[in-house]
Amino acid sequence: MKVLRTPDSCFAKIKDYPFEPVYTNIIAKDGSVIRIHHIDEGPKDGPILLAMHGQPVWSYLYSRMIPILTEAGIRVIAPDLVGYGKSDKPAAREDYSYQNQVDWMGEWLKKNNFQNLTFFGQDWGGLIGLRMVAADPNRFVKIAMGNTGLPYNPNAPQEVIDEVNEFRASNKKISFFEMSKTVSKMDKSKHMATKFMYWQKFTWDSKNLPIGLINSWQMESQFRKSPVKAFIHILLQGIGLEKISPFYTDLMKAYEAPFPDPSYKMGPRAMPSQVPMIPDQSLDAQRKAREFFKTSDKPFLAVFAGNDPVTNGAEKDVLKMAPNAKSAPHIGGGHFFQWTKAEPLSKILIDFIKE
């Protein structure tokens, strides 16, 4: 397996991320060495929160929450998934699977021997982290998750499966704006897979995926208020000049930093297609993990924004999957509420950890 490593210099000018890096080497199934990055902040004797990010972000997403959490006496462990942030980046599409991510992060967890964890995961951080909890439950004392779930769709109608597969294999070109508009209607569709497929196809077909723009669209207002700015930025990125864009914010720089060139972006491009919106190779593993949560008595908190169309439909499924789960009040903030609602989300997690 060819593995890329982002030079440290790429992260030199990131604003408001003063955390010391910690690196762990794991061995993949083929014998390749993969270096996984995490940060470890707060009192060493405090209760531990394992905070896992999703797509297409990295542990920088938690940088607003970490000072709030550590001030409350909580130790925060926040890793970067393989393919993201300061962690190594396998170079081929076939390297990225749901199971590989679970295996890689599970090895990272064992290598560091973390114990007595409260888990919090969002987006892919939830999909991967919930599987890690089910596989190694004795390391965890409490479970929280937000704007995510553990998708399990064994009975998806065949016509939906055919529609998704045909669409993703087609030559149809999906623009950023078409993708955004369609995904924003996910919770209003008969089957979410027929909207999520636009995100899957857009990310894979975009060789230089506009990660900074995608995250700014979710966490900042400039592009949503002025799509013309987004159009100009996309044009500049298309010719490799995004760094001179007049709309290139500090947040965008932070999310583009892990990717010196498009070859480093294979993880963010490939992982959306691994979300099991229709039956795939992860079906049995998902079923087993969900069976664990059906009978687990570990405290479980579901924290949803309530205004995130990507995951609005997941809350009922999570509460059904985990009968002992409690649902926190909706706090808004959209998909990446770790950034947009850092204080209220931190307070919810602090109360959950300390109660």
List, by residue number, the catalytic residues. Answer: 123, 308, 335
- Encoded tokens for 28: 């993949």
322 phi and psi angles, rounded to 5 deg:
-115, 90
Comparing CA positions, the residue from 353, 343, 336, 345 lying closest to residue 60 is: 336
Of 86, 73, 114, the C-alpha closest to 21 is 86
Instruction: Give phi and psi for 91, each to the nearest 5.
Output: -95, -10
Residues 6 or more apart in contact with residue 342 via CB below 8 angstroms: 64, 65, 68
Going from the C-alpha of 49 to that of each of 127, 172, 315, the distances in angstroms are: 17, 43, 22
Largest CA distance in the chain: 55
* Sequence-distant (≥ 6) Cβ neighbours of residue 291 within 8 angstroms: none
